[in-house]
A and B are shown apart, each in its own frame.
Chain A
Amino acid sequence: MRKLVVRICLAIGVFLMAMNNIYSQPGQRVLAGRVVDSHDEPLAGASVYVRGDAYNGTATDVNGYFSLKLPDERKIVIEASFIGMKQYSVNYDGQKEILIVMEDDMNMMESAVVMGKQNINDLDIRAKAGVINMVDINRLQDKPVVDLSLSLQGSAPGLIVTNRGDLGTKPEIRIRGNTSFRKGDTANEPLYVLDGQVISSDAFMTLNPLDIADIKILKDAVACALYGTKAANGVLEITSVRGTNGRTLVTYDFNGGVTFRGRRGVSMMESEEKLELERRLKNPEAPGYRYSEDYYRKYYGTDPDLNKMIAHGKAVLDELKRVNTDWFNELLRNDFYQRHNLSVRGGNETTSYYASANYNYQGGQIPGNDVRRFSGRLSLDQAIGKKGYVSLSVSGGYSKSNSPNGSTYSPTSLIYELNPYESKTSGELWSYPGRTYDDLVYQFERTSEDKRFGATGSINLEPLKGLTVAAVAGLDMVLSESLEFTPSTAYEEQHSGVPSNERGKLSKAKNVSTNVTTNVRVTWNRTFDKHDVTVGANTDYYWDDMDNMSITGYGVGKLKTPSAINQSIEGNRKVRTSNFNEQTAQLGIGLLAGYCYDGIYDVFGTYKADASSILPKNKRWNAAWAVGAGWNIKGYGFLEDFEPISSLRFKGSYGRTASLAGVSPALTVATFAYLEDSYGDQRLLELMSLYNDKLKPEQTISTEVGVSLGLWNRLDLDLGWYDRRTEDALLDVPIPASNGFGTLKRNIGILSNSGVEVSANGKIIDKDEFRLNLRVSLAYNRNMVVDLYDGDRLYVSEDSVIPDYEVGQAYDMIYGPVSLGLNPVTGLPVFKGADGKEIQATEKLKREDMVSLGYGSPPYNGTINLSFTYKQFEFDADFYYVLGGIKAYAYSYVRDYDDANRNAVMGQVENMWFQKGDEGKMYHTPFYSSAAIENLTRWPNSKSVGSSDYLRLQMLSLRYRFPQKFIRKLGGIIKYGNVALQASNIFTLTRYKESDPESGSLVGVQQPVVTMSLSLSF
């Protein structure tokens, strides 16, 4: 407390400013200020009010600022409250501005009565030993990125978000790597919990960042264990913004700007070079050869009109050289970004509310690709006497994304295919014989919509001192709809050979995913002298339902509706419907106990038993347990006054969790499902897979140790080491084909993810008007196959030469031979064999000749966050970097004889081997025998991979806050306001030669967005 007083006094001093007389009228006293936490981070939504006058209050804006009108009384006490913080109060002594620094409250239940907390698993006791990272939500809100999950990239060490495609595609989100040998989201995705309610990852994508008060990343066993077997991959806990105790605050935010084309990954040829390449590739399908002198001399060498022909050819080529279309500029576009957000917050001591509405639009790079979203949210908290409170939240959202890129058709890839001498109006294209430009665009469109609805109710009661009974129940639904449409005018349809009444394809799918959560928790906490004891128990029930229906039909012509499907069509264009429904439930019982001695030593343990409907009765129950301990060295009396060390704490934890991610009933017991097709007059009941009645859930074992150190209250260091082992890891492994099925899901071995996470946060400059903050973080993750139960190596495909999993090796290693460069005689690469001998491209490579070329998923990533404040100006910049990984180049833009008619990478003429004696070339000969194909295409080699390291300026924000002086001139309607220039993904520095080191694809780059924003509070 003594420390707090000192700090407040300091803060008051800092913010004392000369004020104009006109504002000192009696009864019109106004107090302006800012509320921050002990780390100087602003607290958004904190209540600030005058004691005894609940209606005379306000809430801080997103940056912690507030202004409060004061009554004309002699003795005024200013109070501030914020969830999880100790109540703050100070006597008002006439100052104009104030800095309120709030302290964490370890026993939150005592203070927060009205400020509802719906996630009853969010117990502070677990935070002592567990590893929980808070996402800096303000920075998240500053990023002009329509997709919440993508904007999470770089927000916490160990949380890895990777973009996978064009705008609107769900990114890959992992906490500390893949938990399973199985790749893909179902087995490795973290659990998302919004206000105590489990939501799907699709629902998370549609949330409005401005409605979020905080996001916690739960990483280790102690932090996650309260969620039981659902949490083996980590948890993202999202807490929504709630009402305040104070005067109503209406805030409007606008953000509008431009989206750009992004990085030009590969420069393509201009006409002159392209035609020369074609001449050398000698494919008459390309004009550069077809009209060349070489061609005429070869095929019409004795023709009397030869010279005439050559002259004609030259004229044609000259004509082509005059055209130079830049398809990157032609096909991609700049578009718009905008966001409108309106919110109302308020309440009094017993009731508080929050309501918001949001609209967001982002246009993608390729015409036809965009995302728009509407969302709304309403929450209410009501005190029940002095014994507790009930909370209610209702939210809904609608998001729609469009894309012209389909599974078989991608107009974005045309950038790398169309020739520079072709144009949108040049008629039949050389690159696509028989087609014009119009036959390549508007061939396909896909629209997906997500409609989300969620409602959560909770009650928190404290019937006896120290005893808390809390319950939460909620429902979250996402209705995802998609429509895929190929019009009858599309080239493929025109040339499909089917009669015109069967042309035009349409698929419509609806998928409803429903998550129901109920959780009841009893916690008892008592402090005896220096002993602080907590025990608790809970029981929870989760129910998930996936319900999918889809229809695919033909003959729709140009109409984009299922009602236009021609239902008279028989055969393989017959209308088809499909249905998928899967319901799963999980019932759990949990116990927890925590003990803390004198604020120095603490231990925490939790055990949870979960029964899942997925598994047969006899193996239904699985356990998740964890223990953790903390040692707060700063808690010793002798260190209390030792200034250099402002905090020092060690912690460690160990836990074991069973995981059922990606396990379905069909894997453990014979399960049959109906196929869409029929056999004669019969339906088809199909055996879904070869079941494995010995299947066990994967076991995740996490060990964690960490230390956090604060120096001079200016530098905070966090260091953590973890090891997460997955035993009985599941994988579809190949089995002899005579079993009728190619694979069987089996428990095959042990894998581990271990790593180190470091972050440092320093206040470089901490002056009155001048503050500079720098935060640097680095996360390292290494995955390894620890054991395989059947031998040391596992090949998942019969034609693998290199084991896909090998004991002692990383499982995302990219293997291939070492290339010694091109053989100047053959023009084909020469590889270095295991025995040191040279291996020609036409010879067979063996396992021993392959070396590990590098990691497929980069082991290092981190961020650099910079914040700079000067007077009313705030400047923030976030850099994100990824290191240590490689990606194979597709080289799809390097042309040989067969695809000479498509555009090629700039410099190919110079860098390709064409004839004996060509030395130092990069690309192998375009003329090679089929014997070399395997070595050229099946494996990357040391020369065909590149480092996927990159550094991206992810976010840039320059904000100007309107000074109170200026605001008052506006007549007092506006309470706060600011304007900002905000931008995301401005540039990416990389050595990677192809377009995007992140997605590794030529399409789907995170595009730069630059916006202006305006925020006004009334």
Chain B
Amino acid sequence: MALAGCSLDIRLEDQFSDPYAITDTETARELLASAYNSLPRFQMEFSVLSDDFYPTALSQKYVEMLNLYNWQEKAISDFSSNVWSEYYMVVAVVNALLPRLELLEAKTDRDAVEIARIRSEAHALKAMCYFDLVRLYGPIVLKDRLEYETLPRSSVEECLEEIDRLLDEAEKVDDNDAAVFYMSTEAVKALRVEFELHRGNYDVAVAVAQGLLEGAESRWTKSSFENLWSGNESDDRIFAPYIFESFYTDLCYDRTKGDYFILSDQVRYDEDDLRQPWSEYAVEMSSGLVRALGKYNRMYYENTTVRYINTMRYSGVCFAAAEAYARSRQYGQAVDMVNRLLGAYGAVLIDESLEGEALIEAILAEKHKEFVGEGVRYFDLKRMGKPLKRYKNLGTSVNSTIAADDYRWLFPIPESEYKYNDLMDQNPEWPFIKTE
């Protein structure tokens, strides 16, 4: 019959279903790339939550962001909902990839190496997501499979152990010549430094950092800092996800009228600091000339395409190492470590006599200057445990103060999780409205 040729096994032209989807290292790499591509990009929101910025007269026109600046419960809840789901999206892709990776047959040695690298990077990405989630939410859900599950939260200790295990897996492979937008061995190590600092294993943090920072001064040059804020290569980058779309365009209300938020007075650069020209950007607003954020914001003003989101930098490792030294009472090493970087940038060195909390604060103040607008400060503030002031227009007066023990330092579990997961509880003091 004529129907003999009518097959029902139709492989779609541009959709690939199991078992014809992840069939070689190329497709596995492409799936991993989509995990990288879905890494959350909340650098601006976390900066707004921190003391990087002051609001301006224009902030009123972007009420959601202003509410977030003021730590309004609803604004943080809304933001938390995005954060939670975007991180778990990356986790889901990694969970989709890992079992399919095991089914791949390595036909050549190169294949075997590539499979190992992909596995390592996937573990590193998952570790990174869990690490951010734990820092934001406390105990979180640990997902091992790509399937519909309702799971309870694991304890913080269990989560940290899981991150440790994931990092161990990631560290099994040496991959030093990966492109900057992949998690190279260096990136895994840098993540390890942050993680161990957070866990309080200061000696491990310091040891790993020492290895990373050999000859790092050569990375902290004027051109290398400038290159961070362009599509060019920069020696200071360890891991910088590639971005195709526009990025960080929301700070600016209108190129002729100015920004919703400008730099706060916490961030002031020394005269000869070569980071200043790229960290600050003078903008004429109705109130006069203001210090707006440079970096991505300047790139937006100047129509420079953002290609990389600077997520891990050697300078960050330097500050983490210095903090680890300081917290383990090796004050001299701590000061030396920070001054290596400050010296390279032509900034005023920190006082060698500083000790204890004062030293930690000084280190983090310097780190603040280095990373302003990059969403790093929020996590440091959390670790410092200090009250946080929320200012009114241009920092003229204090609007409110977030106490060091305020419940909002821990993000709320979003409704999109707990409403459909009976095993889920809520962080203290946050609304927990179950609908039957």
Contact = CB atoms under 8 A, between A and B. Distances in A.
A738 B143 contact: yes
A583 B14 contact: no
Nearest to B8: A613
Contact of A692 (B148, B150, B255, B436): B148
A684 B33 contact: yes
A674 B13 CA distance: 11
The B contact surface, by secondary structure, is loop
B435 A847 contact: yes
B14 A690 contact: no
Contact of A740 (B15, B22, B88, B435): B88
A620 interface: yes
Interface in B97-130: none
A744 B21 contact: no
Given A612-B8, A793-B436, A738 B14 contact: no
Contact of B30 (A611, A682, A742): A682
A69 B93 CA distance: 79
Contacts of A672: 15-17, 21-22, 27, 31
Contact of B148 (A671, A687, A688, A690): A690
Interface string B244-272: 11100000000100000000000000000
Contacts of B10: 583-585, 613
A674 B181 contact: no
Nearest to B145: A739
Contact of B36 (A665, A679, A739, A742): A679
B207 to A, nearest CB: 31
Interface string B34-63: 101100000000000000000000000000
Interface stretch (A199-207, A387-395, A729-737): A729-737
A93 interface: no
Contacts of A681: 179
Nearest to A498: B303
A690 B92 contact: yes
Interface in B1-25: 1-3, 6-10, 12-18, 21-22
Contact of B12 (A499, A582, A738, A739): A582
Interface string B80-105: 01001100111111011000000000
Contacts of A799: 415
Contacts of A581: 12-14
A735 B418 CA distance: 10
Interface in A566-609: 570-572, 579-587
A735 B151 CA distance: 11
Contacts of B379: none
B407 interface: no
Contact of A687 (B85, B93, B414, B416): B93
Interface centre among A499, A585, A671, A736 (most CB of B within 10 A): A736
Interface centre among B7, B16, B36, B92 (most CB of A within 10 A): B16
B93 A740 contact: yes
Contact of B15 (A498, A518, A666, A735): A666
B416 A734 contact: yes
Given A580-B14, A665-B17, A683-B33, A795 B245 contact: no
A111 B309 CA distance: 78
A529 interface: no
B95 A671 contact: no
A669 B12 contact: no
Nearest to B419: A798
B95 A539 contact: no
A838 B15 CA distance: 56
Contact of A685 (B31, B140, B246): B31
A686 interface: yes
A871 B151 CA distance: 80
Contact of A737 (B31, B149, B414): B414
A875 interface: no
Contact of B8 (A570, A587, A803): A587
B286 interface: no
Nearest to A497: B255
Given A499-B303, A582-B15, A736 B420 contact: yes
A669 B27 contact: no
A308 B149 CA distance: 74
A791 B93 CA distance: 31
A666 B21 CA distance: 12
Contacts of A670: 17-18, 21, 96, 146
B305 A571 contact: yes
A580 B14 CA distance: 7
Contacts of A744: 148
Interface residues of B, number: 67
Contact of A684 (B9, B16, B37, B181): B37
A738 B17 contact: no
Contacts of A586: 8
Contacts of A582: 12, 15
A739 B13 contact: no
A615 to B, nearest CB: 9
Contact of A673 (B15, B90, B148): B15
A748 to B, nearest CB: 13
Contacts of A678: 242, 244
A687 B429 CA distance: 36
Contacts of B399: none
Nearest to B423: A736
B322 to A, nearest CB: 32
B391 to A, nearest CB: 21
A673 B16 contact: yes
A131 B300 CA distance: 64
A800 B436 CA distance: 12
B400 interface: no
Given A518-B3, A736-B417, A740-B143, A688 B34 contact: no
Given A570-B305, A739-B148, A687 B96 contact: yes
B349 interface: no
A677 interface: yes
B29 interface: yes
B9 A613 contact: yes
A1015 to B, nearest CB: 43
B294 to A, nearest CB: 18
A571 B230 CA distance: 12
A518 B6 CA distance: 10
Nearest to A684: B34
Contact of B88 (A679, A687, A739, A795): A739
Nearest to A675: B34
B148 A571 contact: no
Contact of A736 (B3, B89, B416): B416
Contacts of B37: 675, 677, 679, 684
Interface in A489-526: 497-499, 518, 520
A679 B420 contact: no
B424 interface: yes
Contacts of B151: 736, 738
B12 to A, nearest CB: 6
21 contacts: A543-B6, A571-B305, A580-B14, A583-B13, A587-B8, A613-B8, A613-B9, A670-B17, A671-B15, A672-B17, A681-B179, A683-B33, A685-B16, A685-B27, A687-B146, A736-B416, A737-B414, A740-B91, A740-B93, A742-B85, A847-B435
Given A736-B416, A739-B148, 17 more contacts: A579-B13, A580-B14, A666-B15, A670-B146, A674-B14, A679-B242, A681-B179, A684-B33, A684-B37, A685-B33, A692-B148, A734-B420, A738-B84, A738-B143, A740-B85, A740-B88, A798-B415
Interface of A: 497-499, 518, 520, 539, 541, 543, 570-572, 579-587, 611-613, 617, 620, 665-666, 669-675, 677-688, 690, 692, 734-742, 744, 791, 793, 795, 798-801, 803, 847
Interface of B: 1-3, 6-10, 12-18, 21-22, 27, 29-31, 33-34, 36-37, 81, 84-85, 88-93, 95-96, 140-141, 143, 146-151, 179, 181-182, 241-242, 244-246, 255, 303, 305, 414-421, 424, 435-436
The 4 A-B residue pairs with the shortest CB-CB distance in the complex, in nearest-first order: A740-B92, A685-B30, A798-B415, A581-B13
